[in-house]
Structure formats: structure tokens, C-alpha cells
Amino acid sequence: MALGRAFSVAVSGVDGQVVEIEADIGRGLPGVHLVGLPDTALNESRDRVKAAVTNSGGKWPDSRVILALSPATLPKVGSVYDLALALAVLDADKQIPRGSLRRTVFLGELALDGRLRHVRGVLPAVLAVKKAGWSSVVVPMAGLAEAGLVDGIDVLGSRSLKETVAWLRGDGALCQPMPVAWGEPDTYPDMSEVVGQPEARWALEVAAAGAHHVMLTGPPGIGKTMLAQRLPGILPPLTETESLEVTAIHSVAGTLTGDHPLISSPPFIAPHHSTTVSAMVGGGTGMAKPGAVSRAHRGVLFLDECAEMGPKVLEALRTPLEDGEIRIARRDGVARYPARFQLVLAANPCPCAPARNSDCVCAPTVRRKYLGKLSGPLLDRVDLRITMMAVASGALTDEIGESTEHVRARVTGARDAAAERWREYGWRTNAEVPGPALRQKFTLSRDAVRPIERALRNGSLTARGADRALRVSWTLSDLAGTSMPGIDEVGAALDFRDRGTM
């Protein structure tokens, strides 16, 4: 009996765990038996691995082979284990030395001719390998640039099983990643291109400064989509930690492309109004894949024509809006994905949506039903609500508005002030601060909170709405350069919650 061993990684959501793969060559009829909760793709790897070893010049044992993946209770999903499975068999058959094999984790899918193919989730897998204390990892060449984003671990790229075996035998070298080049921020449309709409522009600036959610209501062609598309441009670039968070999610989603996969700008995700619940929050068979809310992490999720979306899709947003993450249970386990995004809702006031409200032909019940898809609990989580009015004719010839660069400078200053204030608590923006902390540790003066208390007494504001109004007032204070919100900032924050009422 001969026993071999190699190591790979199981990725669940954006978390990973090192998996030990054991190969036992024993007596019995030739065959390959795979144990350890494999899914369909992993079960099929028996034939891929056997063909890859044979076509790469190796010898497959002419006896019974048992391949065990542990922890045995952890579901194993996908083809990422192929390379490690092949090396475990070769190790058991004493065809390769064990020196580097025992110190290295191997990722990659094998083609029948032994070529290594790219797999999803390389970045979170390498992060898990580093966290577990391993010294080196081998990945397919197509994922080398992505894996090279992780510092503090020896990352190597291989093109084939044959090349990997030669490296283990000391007969060749594997490729190393190029130094990470911090890419230029993505280019977004400029704010100066928006005609008029000073209130909506100011609301967008406040939203960017505090990471608040916005709803824009108004007739078609008034500029709702234009404004939403310019929100990512006035957000500060992502920090290194945020960039790795966002890139890891897109790695699992399989949306990374090019030789420079690092995402350094806030993403902008705009799903169609016919999108499903699974596409919005994540889903799929086996282990859930990230949805739009996770791909928009640290960026903007724009829902145009939100009143045309299904109520179930909209209600599915409530948990990620509150928690900043989404947890999806599927057959192969629970996937957890970050989902701290800024929501921008855009809607027409009614189905006919004329340029002037007075020209509307919809019955009152139809108007109420149209925006009634947006439930009270969902709207309660939206901090800024703006009703956009038709642009006056003079606005077409007025002086050009402020550019994205000028607005972003003010937003960055406000965010820096908020980050400095909440530094010891670990919060980065005003939107992340829990309500109890606002009420107990950073209490405002009695005069300042009087408008909120009045709104709570008359029932026009919920307790959650009060907390959100306090967060907006802190953002307005940061933009004004004051140390603490006063009654003016609190009043303005409450006014933002009422402007979108039709």
C-alpha cells in the first residue's frame, strides 16, 4: 500500500479553507474512488486527472486508487482540486519528490492533455492560503496576475501538469507574477454635463460624503440616470484593503479580466429591471455565487425604473442594506458575501410619466399602486429622497456646473473627517455607525435633536429613520466643516427624507 498527499483550497463565498488530499494506491481492481463530499464537477475530475497524467508522460497506477479530501464534512465544489489530485496520485506512486510538494498549495483545473485552466476564486483562495501560514502556492498562468495581488506569500504560475512536475523534481522553474501596478481610476462621466438640478446634485454629494442611499423621482429624461452614473466618479478611490475585498468578490463571480485585475475604483452595477432575486442577491445551485449587491460592494448599485421591479426583488434588498453583507444558504453550504454598497433608486412618478404632472392621465389608485411596490420598510432605509422637477429653459444656457473633480475634493475631505472621528471604533463612513453609538456616545444638544423628537412623537418618523437622519446630519456637518451637527443640519437631514414624497 502507498499513500500520497497534496493540498488545495475550498472556497465558500469569499472565505477559503485549505483541503488535504490523500491518495491511497492499494490492492484491487483498477479504478478511482473519490470521497469527501465532492460535487458533480469534482466527481468528474477522476477521468480528467487520469487522462492528464497519462498524456503528460506520467504513469497511472494499474490498481485501485482512493482519493480522500478532508475535512470530510466540508462540501467540495468545482474543478479547482484537479492539479492537487493528480500530484497526490503521483506522490503515492513515488513518481515525484515530496520536498516542495509538502510546503505548497496547488490550484487549477486540468485539461485532458495536462494543460492548467483558470478557475474562479483564485484571489480569495490565495488569501486563505496566506492566512493559514503556507509559504507558497501554484496557480494556473491565467490567474497569476490575480494571485500576485497578495503580498507575503510565494506565488508561482504553471501552464501544465508536466511543467509543475518538472518544478517539483528540480528540473525547471515556474513563472512569478509581475509587480502589482496600481491602475489609474476608472473614468466616469463628468458632473458638469448635468444641466440644472442643483438639489439633486447636492443630494448626490451628501450621499457620496456619507455613503448614504438615495432615491430620485421624476419624469423621464430629467436626468436621474445621468446623475446616478456620475456618483462613482465623486467617490474617493478604494483603499488597498477595499480593493482586495472588491477584487475577491469579482474573482468568485468570474468577472475579472486582463493582466491588471485589481479593482481600484468604486464599482457601478446597474441590473435590468427584469432581474431576478437570485441575480440580485446571489444564488445558483451548489454553492451560491455573488449577486449584484455583492458585486457593488464599496460602490454603487443603481436600480433604474425600480417601480417596474418585482416586489420580491426589492424586498430582498432589506437585509443587505441593514447588515452590509448577504448570507445565502444552498445545498453545499452557506455562502457569505460582503454587500456594503450605496443604493440609488430611480423611478417615474406614475406609469404614463408625462413631462408635467398636470398632464398625467393615471387614476389616483394607479399612481399609488405604481410606487407602492416600494414598501415602507425599504423606503425607511433610504436616507435621501429627491423629487426632480423639469429643467427651466434658461438652464440650457446657464454657466456650466461644477466638475466631478471639485465635488470629489469636498467629498474626500468630508470622508476623511468622518474616518478620523470613528477611527478607534473601526467605522469608515457615517452610514456604518450603529444607531446606539450615535445616541449614547455622540449625543447632540437638546435643541439640535428637538426636530427628530417632534417627528417621532407625531409618528412621521420611525426609530430607524431617526438614526438615519442623525447619520445624514453628521455628514452635512462634515461637509460644512463643523465639529458637530446643529439644528440646521438635523432639520436639513429630516427635509431630505420628505422631499421624495409624491
Domain coordinates of the chain in residue numbers?
2-168, 191-426, 433-502
Percentage of the chain beyond pLDDT 90 is: 68
Amino acid, single-letter form, for residue 230: R
Average the pLDDT over 440-452 and give the result: 87
Banded pLDDT at 213 (limits 50, 70, 90): very high
Residues linked to residue 105 through DSSP beta bridges, in sequence order: 137
Average the pLDDT over 381-404 and give the result: 77
pLDDT (tens digit, 9 = 90+) per residue, 267-310? 999 999 999 999 999 988 777 889 999 999 999 999 999 999 99
Per-residue b or e along 460-475, where b marks 16 or more CB atoms closer than 10 Å to that residue's CB: ebeeebbbbbbbbbbb
Maximum mean pLDDT: which of 100-104, 300-304, 388-392, 432-436: 300-304
pLDDT at res. 502: 44
The dihedral sign for the CA sequence 115, 121, 126, 129: negative
pLDDT (tens digit, 9 = 90+) per residue, 120-175? 999 999 999 999 999 999 999 999 999 999 999 999 999 999 999 999 999 989 99
pLDDT at res. 398: 60
pLDDT (tens digit, 9 = 90+) per residue, 169-195? 999 899 999 877 666 667 888 998 888
pLDDT at res. 73: 87
What CATH number does the domain located at 2-168 have? 3.30.230.10
Q: Over 90: is that where the pLDDT of 400 sits?
A: no
Banded pLDDT at 358 (limits 50, 70, 90): confident
Q: How far apart are CA 341 and CA 207, in angstroms?
A: 11
Q: What is the mean pLDDT of the chain?
A: 90
The dihedral sign for the CA sequence 143, 132, 79, 93: positive
Q: Which of 279, 225, 220 is nearest to 253 (CA)?
A: 279
Helices (H), 132-259: 144-147, 161-168, 198-210, 224-234, 240-253
pLDDT at res. 260: 76
Contact of 478 with 418, CB cutoff 8 Å: yes
Q: What is the DSSP letter of 38?
A: B
pLDDT (tens digit, 9 = 90+) per residue, 16-38? 999 999 999 988 888 899 999 88
Average the pLDDT over 377-404 and give the result: 79
Percentage of the chain beyond pLDDT 70 is: 96
Average the pLDDT over 209-238 and give the result: 93
Q: Over 50: is that where the pLDDT of 373 sits?
A: yes
Q: How far apart are CA 278 and CA 288, in angstroms?
A: 9
Contact of 73 with 103, CB cutoff 8 Å: no
pLDDT at res. 184: 63
The cell numbers describing 266, all together, are 468604486
pLDDT at res. 397: 56
Average the pLDDT over 424-444 and give the result: 89
Q: Over 70: is that where the pLDDT of 500 sits?
A: no
Amino acid, single-letter form, for residue 133: G
Q: Over 70: is that where the pLDDT of 499 sits?
A: no
Q: What is the DSSP letter of 346?
A: E
Q: What is the DSSP letter of 273?
A: T
Output 328 or 401, whichever has higher pLDDT: 328
Domain 191-426: state its class. Answer: alpha beta
pLDDT at res. 501: 47
- Asked if the domains at 2-168 and 191-426 fall in one CATH topology, the answer is no
Q: How far apart are CA 322 and CA 325, in angstroms?
A: 8
CA separation (Å) from 332 to 167, 253, 328?
35, 17, 11
Q: Over 90: is that where the pLDDT of 404 sits?
A: yes
Q: How far apart are CA 23 and CA 33, in angstroms?
A: 10
Q: How far apart are CA 366 and CA 388, in angstroms?
A: 20
pLDDT at res. 49: 95
pLDDT (tens digit, 9 = 90+) per residue, 54-108? 999 999 999 999 999 999 988 888 899 999 999 999 999 999 998 889 999 999 9
Q: Is the peptide bond before 71 cis (omega within 30 degrees of 0)?
A: yes
pLDDT (tens digit, 9 = 90+) per residue, 245-258? 999 999 999 888 76
Average the pLDDT over 339-345 and give the result: 96
Three-class SS of 46-92:
HHHHHHHHHHCCCCCCCCEEEEEEECCCCCECCCCCHHHHHHHHHHH
